A and B are shown apart, each in its own frame.
Chain A
Amino acid sequence: MELLMTETVPPPKSRWLDIYQCPDCGGALAKNPDKWECAGCHAQYPVRAGVPLLNPGVSRSPGFVGVMKRDHDQPDTFIHDAEKRGWEAALRSIQMPGEPDRLIEAVAPNRISWRHVAGLEPSSLVIDIGTGTGGVACQLAAGCSVVAVDRSFIDAAFVAVRASQSGLHSLDSIVADGSRLPISTGVADLVTLIGVLEWVPTDFPDRDPRESQLDALREARRVLKPTGRLYLAIENRAYFGYYLGAPEPHARLRYVSLMDREAADRYSRETRGQPFLELTHSLPEYRSLLAEAGFQRVESYWLYPDYRLTHAVVPVDEAGIARWYTDQHLDPRRHRRPFEQSLYSFFRFSPPDFMAHSVRDYGFVACAASPEQHA
């Protein structure tokens, strides 16, 4: 889709990381201010508003604005607004009543409270796939090099503006597809997939959703160094709240994630007129998915209260630790309504193993290779 940008182009970024390759053929890219060109297949990738568009052919609305998945009518106006009035003011201007606070989600330190389990070093290179408004990428860029990847132009351009205004020179923002990253093999120390993997199958409606997710994970593993790690944060299919009637957050349908996949798909087609592609899994299913994608030493965590603003990163490989956490720290004031009180009671009083499999959001830290493979 052709993007209709007005002349709001910021000065071209002077120094890009030397890790990019052609997403089609893997050839080296010549980085010109207005376009990047592949030395191998001579494919050209335009640069708009200082952001290279390295996913040609992906037909996605240009006005797709991170986090809440709501289209913005005039992406050029939005980016222009961000440049002129500052990115915070621009983000405020698209805040809708009843939505989680976009600005807080974009800047709160608890967006990256998980970083200590991911083994980050000051010299680390992080690839943040599905960067949204840069809540994770921009905060991590204060301490290491970050490539913010999004398939939406407006998100990537917004993050570029934000990084430029915040003086974050170690952040590159690109438009690319997470399943076909324009990044060389074995360069990254950490790849983050936060609230992204479940959406991957929606780009490939004709494929098996699980296969699409596996491909995205394999692609993430490809760009990781042997010592690199993946941080995956995602909802639990078997969340106890779904049994109590909480709607599945992606399809917004009750009980859908608890159904057999085929039944869920039929139910989704009948109720909302589209297939059920936003696949989430249970704890053992995630572990086997990561193992199938080639990851080693998977560590599983319960992210409380959720993966957006995480207050606690609780290991669930030993269920007793999660029990200790709920005994010590679970605050009933977060669970006021009768439905939530049932959840609270469940987490306080259910057997530890059962609880570890029924939490809402999981985080996984998976190594690209085992220590023997490093050697």
Chain B
Amino acid sequence: MLDQIERHIRKHAASWGVELSPPARMRALLRANPEHDGIVRDISTGQVGTLIFWFRSEDLSPFLVSKIVSPSLTADAIAECTSLQETANRRLGYNLFPKVHAVAEIGGARIIFMEAVSGPNYEIQLARAAFGPERSVKALQRVVTHQFQELGTALRDLQATAFSDARVIWGAQAAAYARSFLELCPEARSIVSDARIAAMTELIDTVALRTHFVLTEDHLTNYLPGPRAVDQLVPDIRGVCDRWPGPVSGLRILVAFFRAGPLHEAYADYSWADALASCLFEDSRVEIIGAPVRRFLDDIGLGSASPQLVWAFVTGVFFIRACQELEFHADNLIAKRLRSEFLEFTRDVIRIGDALRTSVRGKIGGLVVPRLHGDHLDGEFRDREHMDFFSPQAQMLTEFPGWVGPAVRLQRRIRERHERLYAVTRWIFRSLLDRFRQPPRK
């Protein structure tokens, strides 16, 4: 099949505006969806198929991406998605969504040809900042701030693409998702009573939300960097945009960050719901991730909403996520484990909702305020307490150059000129340091 796709690219590259001189040798890098490891019966995930990154022999980055999608994503659906994306890009004045050059049927499969975008995706960036040899609290803060800022800006800009001025009262939909969730996970009936659903609906119905072109894909395991992580090729895109108004789309991304991404693992000892709640509502104690998250909340238009209302939305979004995951994995090996996980999450979400009932922002009682996992972040917190000039973190935590010693100055110089050498040196230094350190303080 690769031969056929290559021939197609050679034939049409010029019309797509892709430069490809005929003698150039093309090489293909295949990337499959890692989630397919755990999927047993339903292998047609539709949205995330096999990606093929195309390289010209002389290039060090791909010049084109082709994507083999499952037949569930019809040509009409792709055409509609593409047209909506182009409209959104035009209204925004810049290309938020990657350009889709063409769609073709090759060898019995549907292939999408797309613009290639370089750079690690959000998930990899976050994972490296929190778990890589280059990990540090400052790096994590930098990455989280950048990502939420980028996403917040994208979502704010997308409000300019509103389909109409009509506003949606979303409570009934949230309640419908809650009931669907209870059907998929009947054990949760003892936790989510009708009264609770009614209370959530009532709170959500106090605001009317505009619908516009939203970021539909909340998985972080996508392949493009930045907000363009979203390729938006969803079969019923218009319906999705109608059902999930802008702020709901934003909260879906937020829940995904805490539920499934590296942040979830950085808070390994705590529930993701506690981590999210403390970032949203605790002004003073969790600045590393909390500040960017609260700015993101401002960007999606819920900055001035009460904690109770924000959490009612988060609860509704949680039910969407639960329904999606449980339906998708209904026949798969992990279905049972997933149901019990979501039962626990439901307890957490409801408990936090109860704790917020009588609170105001900044003065929350009864909330668990998780700390980032000290082991994963390799002693950054310990270094704050026992810092010396030889601590690799010292140069990041000390603000003014005059205050640091020669070792730290040397590190800074190396980092400026030789970034990779610096990263390796730092990792070696940390490994040696770890041998003599005390076990982490819990």
Residues of A whose CB lies within 8 Å of any CB of B are 101, 103-104, 107-110, 113-114, 116-117, 119-122, 309-315, 317-318, 320-321, 323-325, 327-333, 336, 338, 341, 344-345, 348-349
**Contact-residue bracket for chain B:** 35 or more
**Are the C-beta atoms of A117 and B60 separated by less than 8 Å?**
no
Q: Are A104 and B55 in contact (CB under 8 A)?
A: no
In the bound complex, do residue A110 and residue B36 qualify as a contact, i.e. CB atoms below 8 Å apart? yes
Q: Check if B213 is an interface residue, CB within 8 A of chain A.
A: no
Please state if B34 and A332 are interface contacts (CB–CB under 8 Å): no
Q: B40 in the interface, Cβ–Cβ < 8 Å? A: yes
List which B110-140 residues lie within 8 A (CB) of chain A. 118-121, 123-124, 127-128, 131-133, 135
Greatest chain B CB density within 10 A among A114, A328, A348 is at A328
Cβ contacts A to B, 13 pairs, < 8 Å: A104-B37, A104-B38, A108-B40, A109-B36, A109-B39, A315-B28, A318-B57, A324-B61, A332-B128, A333-B262, A348-B420, A349-B423, A349-B424
Pick from B3, B32, B60, B124 the residue with the most CB of A within 10 Å. B32
- A311 and B32: CB pair below 8 A? yes
Bound complex: CA A144 to CA B424 (Å): 48
Contacts of B427 in A (CB 8 A): 341, 345
Question: Taking A103-B40, A104-B333, A110-B37 as contacts, is the C-beta distance between A325 and B52 under 8 angstroms?
Answer: no
Cα-based distance from A113 to B59 in the complex (angstroms): 25
**Cβ contact within 8 Å between A345 and B133:** yes
User: Does A324 contact B60, Cβ atoms closer than 8 Å?
Assistant: yes
Q: Quick one: closest A residue to B62, CB to CB?
A: A324
Q: Interface residues, chain B, CB within 8 Å of chain A?
A: 1-3, 27-34, 36-40, 43, 50, 52, 55, 57, 59-62, 68, 107-108, 118-121, 123-124, 127-128, 131-133, 135, 223, 262, 265, 333, 420, 423-424, 427, 431
Cα of A315 to Cα of B62 in the assembled complex, Å:
13
Assess whether B2 is in contact with A113, with CB atoms less than 8 Å apart.
no
Which residue of A is nearest B262, CB measured? Answer: A333
Do most interface residues of chain A lie in helix, strand or loop, or is the interface mixed?
helix
A321 to B34, CA, bound (A): 20
4 A-B pairs with least C-beta separation? A113-B32, A332-B132, A313-B30, A109-B36
Known: A324-B29, A333-B127; 5 extra A-B contacts, CB below 8 A, are: A108-B40, A311-B31, A323-B60, A324-B55, A332-B128
- State the Cβ distance, A339 to closest chain B Cβ, in Å: 11
A328, B39: Cβ atoms closer than 8 Å: no
Chain B residue nearest in CB terms to A329 = B124
Cα-based distance from A206 to B3 in the complex (angstroms): 43
Q: Which residues of A contact B424 (CB under 8 A)?
A: 345, 349
Bound CA span A82–B321, Å = 36
Note all chain B residues with C-beta closer than 8 A to A318. Answer: 27, 55, 57
User: With A104-B37, A324-B61 in contact, is A113–B107 under 8 Å at CB?
Assistant: no
Partner of B32, one of A101, A310, A321: A310
B31 touches A332 (CB 8 A): no
Complex CA distance for A342 and B119, rounded to whole angstroms:
23
Residues of B near A312 (CB, < 8 A) are 29-32
> How far, in angstroms, from A318 to B301 measured CA to CA in the complex?
48
Q: In the complex, what residue of chain A is closest to B5 when comparing beta carbons? A: A116
Given contacts A313-B29, A315-B29, contact A336 B36 (CB under 8 A): no
Question: Do residues A341 and B50 form an inter-chain contact, with CB atoms below 8 A?
Answer: no
CB distance from A349 to the nearest CB of B (A): 5
Bound CA span A109–B62, Å:
25
* Bound: A22/B32 CA distance, A: 40
